[in-house]
Amino acid sequence: MAAVAAFDLYRFFHAREAETLALRGVSLTLESGELVAVVGPSGSGKSTLLTCLAGLDEPDGGHVEVLGQRLTRRPEAERARIRAAAIGVLMQSDNLIPTLTVADNVMVPMRLASCVDTTRVDLLLSRVGLTERRHARPGQLSGGELARAGLAVALAATPSVLLADEPTGEVDALTEARILEFLQAECVSGMAILIATHSVAIGARADRVVRLRDGRIVDA
């Protein structure tokens, strides 16, 4: 059974006269333990694909399955339940609750999945290099720190599927390498990881690279 699968996804956006075809028939399967990079120019549909896979957005056509369960066209409460149990999501912004500290933000998905584990909070913060910043609030963090804190939140409940949009967009090469090493270790324990990225280093270390252009998967 696939960890996550997309079947012929379409997503259109309308603004006045203009229509953007953000996804035009994208199909994709990730098995447990796979690390896949989604690459493509800005505007090619990477974030749209990730939000549809996470059930945070509904595709206009096609559907998504997570661990064999259909996620698409279900009531939001059901999608939220499936997401809390199986999916970790890091988007390009707004991953953290502004009024909570970094450590308390990491606890949120654990509470939702009924798996509070303070040892894992410490481990995650250490792995993303934020132990010293655990009591800071999101407004006090740099761009790279926000992305790393968001990644710790996405990984908090040990999801079966991690969907990460530019997790290392604003970090230096050494920090990126450390984060990648950690994500690869999570894959070995069975997590399926999809990373949208412009990073050549991530593309090189991924098991597979999926290229998007104008909302379609293209060959290398």
Ligand X SMILES: Nc1ncnc2c1ncn2[C@@H]1O[C@H](COP(=O)(O)OP(=O)(O)OP(=O)(O)O)[C@@H](O)[C@H]1O
47 or 101: CB nearest Mg ion? 47
d(C-alpha 26, C-alpha 172), whole Å: 32
For 192, the token pair is 């399926």
Q: Does 42 engage in binding with ligand X (CB under 6 A)? A: yes
Interface stretch with ligand X, choices 2-10, 38-46, 126-134, 171-179 (CB under 6 A): 38-46
CB under 5 to 8 A by kind: which of ligand X, Mg ion, none does 133 bind? Answer: none
Among 25, 33, 43, 62, binds ligand X (CB under 6 A): 43
Positions that interact with Mg ion (CB under 5 A): 46-47
For 10, the token pair is 């379409």
CB under 5 to 8 A by kind: which of Mg ion, ligand X, none does 189 bind? Answer: none
d(C-alpha 21, C-alpha 196), whole Å: 18
CB under 5 to 8 A by kind: which of Mg ion, ligand X, none does 22 bind? Answer: ligand X
The residue number with the shortest CB distance to Mg ion is 47
d(C-alpha 26, C-alpha 133), whole Å: 39
For 190, the token pair is 């069975």
Question: Is residue 102 classed as helix, strand or coil in its secondary structure?
Answer: helix
| Cβ neighbours of residue 141 closer than 8 Å, sequence gap 6 or more | 102, 133, 149
Residue 130 DSSP symbol: -
Among 5, 26, 36, 47, binds ligand X (CB under 6 A): 47
Q: How far is the CB of 128 from Mg ion (least distance, A)?
A: 20
For 203, the token pair is 């593309």
157 or 194: CB nearest ligand X? 194
Interface stretch with ligand X, choices 24-32, 37-45, 83-91, 121-129 (CB under 6 A): 37-45
CB under 5 to 8 A by kind: which of Mg ion, ligand X, none does 197 bind? Answer: none
Q: Is 204 exposed, middle or buried (0-12, 13-18, 19+ CB in 10 A)?
A: exposed
Cβ count within 10 A of residue 200: 10
Per CB under 6 A, which of residues 11..30 are in contact with ligand X?
13, 15, 20, 22
| Contact set with ligand X (CB under 6 A) | 13, 15, 20, 22, 40, 42-48
